Structure 1
């Protein structure tokens, strides 16, 4: 029923945003992404999205300036800006363009959920009947509501969801937080009762299982897409985690 456009010049962010919410449950059955200003404008005109989420910087271009250009075309679109910057000037510029909200990256699931729900009800005259809050507010691996976890842990979980297909490690996450990896790992373990590597593997296994059951993709392609360039390594982890091979699961 609804159409969504996500604009960011980082492919891993685009993939992460597509998985942050169960968009289909909210009625978004068409989701497009763009990595450049030109493509974003072209797809906006063609798609006429109900909601468009722009990063504040798209390569050399500014997201709110692109939104300003689209506003002149009077598209029936509600805009959200996301940014790794908290400077007030960016927020001010976004507000002047009439964006619905300004979210800091990594975007917290609960905050995005509230903004989307508000737009659906207030601007799209839709309703939230039949939407399961559990799927959107509880981590699929831990089974714990996100609101019961610390902000730091939630940010780590978001990084995993956005970058699990990449070579993400506890060390690389710790470097981005400017923290000692051993200390960060201890904090994560204390709160989740899982090592970071265990959580990452579990999330990759979950994504692999869903793709095996929902698509006819080759197992080798699925393994690659969830962060396993070594197929034998993937088979070993999958068999150990689920007690069956990927091909057995698909039967």
Structure 2
């Protein structure tokens, strides 16, 4: 029902309007009456009003002034003016003040009915348009959140080359809070399990569980949620640490809502607090290791402090790079030497420190598998075997054996891609661009990443795609820019930064050349289209 207030200084006029039409049948409900505009505004503070019927001549505040105030109060509120014949021209000129229609006194029931039906149609159309606009804005926000989540996963599992590129991308994605000096963070792993072990509800409700976690952290400062496809039925939370905060309330809330809304149990692993972006990988793995200590079963559990700071063996970016180099250069001897140095008997360390380093190596191998698109049933089986062995916390030799076998398989498959006509490498480059289009990507950077001469990479890329590298990159950025431009809340400079352009002027020039409209013109065209 649309809610109505009648405003007139004559009580008989107000009562007469009640019985002139069947208000409920027309889809309206009279919720209040007022003697003048000022009284009406006070009543609106406590009621959601959709339609105002007001006399034009009233003491204290007349109908025209009330219409102005209503427009300021709620631009979607409809105002109908009631007037005598002598005020007719005056009322007509007032339409610009927010008055939607007018009726002459005495009000004819059929005319009132016709006006109400027009107003109802306008309101319904307004509501439909608003829902469409909100839908577009929601899609744009979801697009930004999706890119943010992908980059959070990259921070904890991807390869780091130049720290300033990471910082620039975090700024572009509005993740400035992660750039605080010596930022302190803690990761929390949340897994859902069935209350009844014989059902498959956890898998069926996986998407609902993800949405629940995202909604719970959406309005919490310094808390982010992301999903790692390698871990089924899990969500990962990143929580920025300050002196007054602790994860207990968040964790208990998640367990409560998972149980009450989804009828599942939440098993939670709380990782160690870490300092600085480079240590995010350590923090993430520690939450997984903490989770791995949970008991088998379907009851809610929580464990924490998986890896004590003094037990962590140093695993610098240089060491990680050596391992990656060994794989990509097909040097199995070098890989095994690095593996033995990090995980073998020569390097005495705790079981949990061993597990952390093993996970770091596994993440590096998984990144290579993804980059070269050599994901097969065999590689996935070995990745899963390594994960299972690490979680057992007492299968160190098995972990080393599985990692060695996995490395050997990856080397063979990477070699096969290199002796092809270049299609596999180009496919890998395209996937990298599709995921990192907002970063500062250069041909020399890609040549280092894929261990291939830049001139040869440029040649085979053009051969396979029909476009040179820079054309493909720009085209991809424009596609993503169009998505972000649907969000009216994002400034043009924000969109430019999100898709990898250093300044809005250059972005506007490139966009106009590719699309035929400037970003502002394109956005306005979308807005007009949405309102139709």
Report the TM-score, using the length of structure 1 for normalisation.
0.56
- The 1-side partners of 2:487 and 2:456 are apart by 39
Q: CA deviation at 1:176?
A: 2.3
Match of 2:445 in 1: 172
Q: How does 1:1-251 map to 2 (within 5 A)?
A: 6=153, 8-9=155-156, 27=207, 28-29=210-211, 30=214, 32-33=225-226, 45=251, 58-59=279-280, 61=282, 64-73=285-294, 85=324, 103-105=366-368, 107=370, 111=375, 150-251=423-524
1:7-52 superposed Cα distances (whole Å, 9 cap, x missing partner):
7346569x99xxxxxxxxx94543724797987x9599476789x9
Mind listing any 5+ residue stretches in structure 2 that lack a counterpart?
1-148, 161-165, 174-205, 215-223, 227-235, 256-265, 270-277, 302-319, 328-334, 343-353, 381-421, 525-532
Match of 1:140 in 2: none
Match of 2:307 in 1: none
Taking a change above 3 Å as real, the CA distance of residues 47 and 244 of structure 1, as seen in their structure-2 partners, is farther
- The 1-side partners of 2:439 and 2:462 are apart by 22
- The 2-side partners of 1:203 and 1:210 are apart by 11
Taking a change above 3 Å as real, the CA distance of residues 65 and 231 of structure 1, as seen in their structure-2 partners, is closer
Q: CA deviation at 1:172?
A: 1.5
Secondary structure of 1:213's partner? coil
Q: CA deviation at 1:60?
A: 6.9
Matched-pair contact (CA < 8 Å) for 1:166–1:227: yes
Q: CA deviation at 1:59?
A: 4.8
Mind listing any 5+ residue stretches in structure 1 that lack a counterpart?
17-25, 77-82, 116-148
Q: CA deviation at 1:166?
A: 1.9
- The 1-side partners of 2:472 and 2:366 are apart by 26
Taking a change above 3 Å as real, the CA distance of residues 35 and 194 of structure 1, as seen in their structure-2 partners, is farther
1:180-232 superposed Cα distances (whole Å, 9 cap, x missing partner):
21110111111111110001001110111000014520111111111112221
- The 2-side partners of 1:60 and 1:110 are apart by 23
- The 2-side partners of 1:110 and 1:210 are apart by 30
Matched-pair contact (CA < 8 Å) for 1:204–1:227: yes
Taking a change above 3 Å as real, the CA distance of residues 47 and 166 of structure 1, as seen in their structure-2 partners, is farther
- The 1-side partners of 2:495 and 2:369 are apart by 25
Secondary structure of 2:225's partner? strand
How many pairs does the alignment contain? 192
Taking a change above 3 Å as real, the CA distance of residues 93 and 173 of structure 1, as seen in their structure-2 partners, is same
Taking a change above 3 Å as real, the CA distance of residues 245 and 192 of structure 1, as seen in their structure-2 partners, is same
Report the TM-score, using the length of structure 2 for normalisation.
0.29
Matched-pair contact (CA < 8 Å) for 2:225–2:238: no
- The 1-side partners of 2:472 and 2:284 are apart by 34
Relative contact order, CA 8 A, sep 6+: which one is greater? 1
Please report the RMSD computed on the Cα atoms of aligned residues, expressed in angstroms. 4.9
Secondary structure of 1:199's partner? helix
1:117-146 superposed Cα distances (whole Å, 9 cap, x missing partner):
xxxxxxxxxxxxxxxxxxxxxxxxxxxxxx
1:135-185 superposed Cα distances (whole Å, 9 cap, x missing partner):
xxxxxxxxxxxxxx9331222123213332222111211122332211101
Matched-pair contact (CA < 8 Å) for 1:174–1:181: yes
Taking a change above 3 Å as real, the CA distance of residues 35 and 150 of structure 1, as seen in their structure-2 partners, is farther
1:39-79 superposed Cα distances (whole Å, 9 cap, x missing partner):
7x9599476789x9xxxx95572755431212234679xxx
Matched-pair contact (CA < 8 Å) for 1:208–1:222: yes
1:101-120 superposed Cα distances (whole Å, 9 cap, x missing partner):
973347357959xx8xxxxx
